[in-house]
Amino acid sequence: MSTNKEIRVKLTDNPGSDPLGMEGFLIMEDFESVFSGLTGVYARLSYKEKFRADQTDDELVESYRRKSEEIYELKRQFVLRSLTEIRAATEEYRPLLQQLEKLEAEKYG
């Protein structure tokens, strides 16, 4: 009989082997959360920079807008990849989301 730890390792290495599909569901929900969050934070940063009370940086506005579109396109491309690739992308982009949320809070309040 397998222990919980052995099962967890097996699902981590091969999430498609989960008979109920919960591992895949969790990976996809996490992916959706991170990538939708990135798309949204870039869009908010663009909007907030555009309507700043003092000096607006048009290049920064355009840069944030482009990044929002790039992340959206990247998200669309990843949907057809394997669960392990999707999990890896989520973990790769999560720190960026956290960094941008911190920037947004510090710079725009």
pLDDT digits (tens, 9 = 90+) for 42-65: 999 999 999 987 888 899 999 999
Does 78 map to a domain?
Answer: yes
Count how many residues are written for the chain.
Answer: 109
Does 20 map to a domain?
Answer: no
Does 14 map to a domain?
Answer: no
Cα 44 to chain centroid, rounded: 15
Q: Is the pLDDT of residue 10 over 90?
A: no
Cα 73 to chain centroid, rounded: 12
For residues 34 and 90, is the Cβ–Cβ distance under 8 A? yes
Spatial distance between the Cα atoms of 86 and 68, rounded to a whole number of angstroms? 19
Amino acid symbol at 35: F
Percentage of residues in the chain having pLDDT higher than 70? 82
Does 84 map to a domain?
Answer: yes
Average pLDDT on 79-93 reads: 92
Q: 53: domain range?
A: 27-108
Does 7 map to a domain?
Answer: no
Structurally, the chain folds into a number of domains equal to: 1
20 contact partners, CB below 8 Å, separation of at least 6: none
Which string of b and e fits 74-107 if b means at least 16 CB within 10 Å?
ebeebeeeebeebbebbeebbebbeebbeeeeee
